[in-house]
Amino acid sequence: MNMPAGISTPDYRAMPLEALDVSDPRMFQYDYWQELFARLRDECPVHYQPDSPAGPFWSVTRYEDIVAIERDTETFSSEPSISIIDPEPDMILRMFIAMDPPEHDDQRRAVHHVVAPRNLQEFETLIRERTVEVLDSLPENEPFDWVKLVSRDLTTKMLATLFDFPWEERNKLTEWSDMFTSDVRITAGEGSTREVIIEHITACLQRFTELWHERKGDGKEAFDLIRMLQADPNTANMVDDPLTYMGNIMLLIVGGNDTTRNSMSGGVVFLNQFPDEMAKVRQNPELIPSMVSEIIRYQTPLPHMRRTTTRDVELNGQKIAKGEKVVLWFVSGNYDDAVIERPNDFWIDRPSVRNHLSFGAGIHRCMGNRLAEMQLRILWEEALQRFETIEVVGEPKRTCNLFIRGFTELPVKVTRFQS
Amino acid sequence: MTVITFIQHDGSERMVDGDVGLSLMETALKHDVPGIDADCGGGAICGTCHCFVEVSGDIPAPDSQETAMLGLRPDRADNSRLACQIMVSDGMADITVRLPEFQM
């Protein structure tokens, strides 16, 4: 990894535990996070950091501890926020990912149907057509940016389809998604200020409010997320509560965006790093679904979720006081060799391949998991059929963000099979 | 011996002998009965082994974790259970396990 002047990999093994900075988004940008979490898992699996741009917080890094917390939603609340940063006190968006039962359950069930496998079968043909279109339009034998031409484009089109969002405006969805997760406190100062983010939230809410009113009562069948909210008694009047409506829209936009997008890029990188696995999947295309799960583990596109304690609690010998932030590092749990065999290997047919933490665990487990897996499966089915080679031809650029592990640029060259 | 009958959403049936100590989820996987994904491997934390259970005798009621996971299912019924949480025990009555249209 080439790093700019002034940035170097911290010597995580040599530093005192209390000096470890678990809030540094550069560890994902320059891909040097592995040693930090390995040391925490070994020596301090429940770690306190008293000072960070996001304030004081605890880090939980072992797989089993993360699962134990996910099971105990009474002690470890998802309110008021599931990100390491706190929401603005005057603009607390309400979204079910950041709610506890029973309200969480009602709102989640209202939109669950849209990503249920029954609906996915209907979407599959459409997704495949769009994937084929994108892959067939890629240049041959010259480098192009896979992030821009494949990952971003495909996930944007999928989101626009799910919302039935005006097609010509669809890039707004991805711009908003990037904006919502770019707070300066989790982007080493490179992201957006509060004012700019609020401006975008306002624009997004305004557009979605218009769409709500255009669709309300037009008698069409509820196949998109907006109409589904309108059709369910629990959420039929959600537009009257803008902070809740906006919260849920934001959740669905972000949830269906960075995650799949970055796994689409990650897969290319991993198959280039592990050519034996590429050979394996080319010989055994029936391994694609298993490979998709392994890509999702290996990428862990959302590296953390945060909980807040509702009482004093002891975890692995550490006393955590009521009201403190507890950050669950999924990216660390997914590389914990106490549970995941040979975690540093990208191993497309590993045993229990679906048993990873990238979707979280328990009642907040990713609602769109089957949709994400389907999008990735179709991408790889179609890509492996057309391209004889898919080669990373330059250094990937990674996202500088504590909440998102991903890629901003990935130079790739492909060659097609001669038919 | 407890006989377990798995009925798929399309109505097709499969009867297998239960092994004491295995869960219904593990029993299905052991006999390659489709319709159960079991992503998390048995921790009641993924909800992808949802099923509808019919049994004449008593089986232990779901605990709070299982109940919480079942609460998310849009197709939840009174006899909804997670197959990973029901262990085949000595002398257990025969049991019918209906599988839902999909897991998620």
- pLDDT for A222: 65
CA distance B89 to B55: 13
CA angle A79, A228, A264 (to 5 degrees): 70
Q: Taking CB atoms and an 8 Å limit, are B45 and A108 in contact across chains? A: no
The helix or strand, by DSSP H or E, that contains position B6, with its residue range, turns out to be strand B3-7
* Average pLDDT over every residue of A70-75: 96
Chain A hits for B68, CB-CB cut-off 8 Å, are 73, 101, 362-363
Judge contact between A51 and A318, C-beta under 8 A.
no
Percent of chain A with pLDDT over 90: 74
Residue A106 at interface with chain B, using a CB cutoff of 8 Å: no
Strands A325-329 and A57-60: parallel
Chain B hits for A363, CB-CB cut-off 8 Å, are 68-69, 71-72
* Average pLDDT over every residue of A92-119: 84
Q: All domains of chain B, ordered by start, with CATH?
A: 3-98 (3.10.20.30)
- C-alpha A113: how far from its chain's center? 20
pTM comes to 0.94
Question: Which of the pair, A155 or A8, is modelled with greater confidence?
Answer: A155
Residue A354 at interface with chain B, using a CB cutoff of 8 Å: yes
pLDDT band at A279 (very low <50, low <70, confident <90, very high): very high
Ranking A116-125, A162-171, A399-408 by mean pLDDT, the lowest is A116-125
Residues 357-416 of A with CB under 8 A from B: 359, 361-363, 365, 367, 369-370
Chain A hits for B102, CB-CB cut-off 8 Å, are 116-118, 370
Judge contact between A129 and A117, C-beta under 8 A.
no
Strands B95-98 and B50-55: antiparallel
Judge contact between B99 and B35, C-beta under 8 A.
yes
CA distance A196 to A183: 10
The helix or strand, by DSSP H or E, that contains position B53, with its residue range, turns out to be strand B50-55
- pLDDT for A2: 63
Q: Does residue A103 register a pLDDT over 70?
A: yes
Burial class (CB in 10 A: 0-12, 13-18, 19+), B39: buried
- Among B38, B40, B102, the residue with its CB nearest the CB of A118 is B102
Helix H segments across A216-287? 225-231, 242-255, 258-273, 275-283
Mean residue pLDDT of chain A comes to 93
Amino acid making up residue B22: L
The helix or strand, by DSSP H or E, that contains position A278, with its residue range, turns out to be helix A275-283
- pLDDT for A111: 78
The helix or strand, by DSSP H or E, that contains position A26, with its residue range, turns out to be helix A26-29
Q: What is the token pair recorded at A11?
A: 């010597």
Residue A73 at interface with chain B, using a CB cutoff of 8 Å: yes
Per-residue DSSP letter, A287: G
**Neighbour count for residue A181 (Cβ, 10 Å):** 24
Chain A hits for B38, CB-CB cut-off 8 Å, are 354
Burial class (CB in 10 A: 0-12, 13-18, 19+), A9: middle
In the block, residue with structure tokens 């933490």:
A357
Q: What is the token pair recorded at A390?
A: 């898919």
Q: Taking CB atoms and an 8 Å limit, are B40 and A363 in contact across chains? A: no
> Domain locations in chain A?
17-416
Helix (H, G, I), strand (E, B) or coil at B13: strand
pLDDT band at A93 (very low <50, low <70, confident <90, very high): confident
Q: Taking CB atoms and an 8 Å limit, are B39 and A108 in contact across chains? A: no
Which of A27, A99, A106, A91 has its CA nearest to residue A59?
Answer: A27
In the block, residue with structure tokens 């990912």:
A97
Q: A17-416 has which CATH code?
A: 1.10.630.10
Q: Taking CB atoms and an 8 Å limit, are A116 and B71 in contact across chains? A: no
Q: Does residue A202 register a pLDDT over 70?
A: yes
Positions of chain B with pLDDT lower than 70, given as ranges: none
- Among B43, B74, B104, the residue with its CB nearest the CB of A370 is B104
Query: For the segment A307-362, what is each residue's pLDDT rounded down to a tens digit?
Result: 999 999 999 999 999 999 999 999 999 999 999 999 999 999 999 999 999 999 99
Bond from prior residue into B62 cis (ω within 30 degrees of 0): no
- Residue B62 to residues A128, B19, B98, Cα–Cα distance (Å): 40, 21, 17
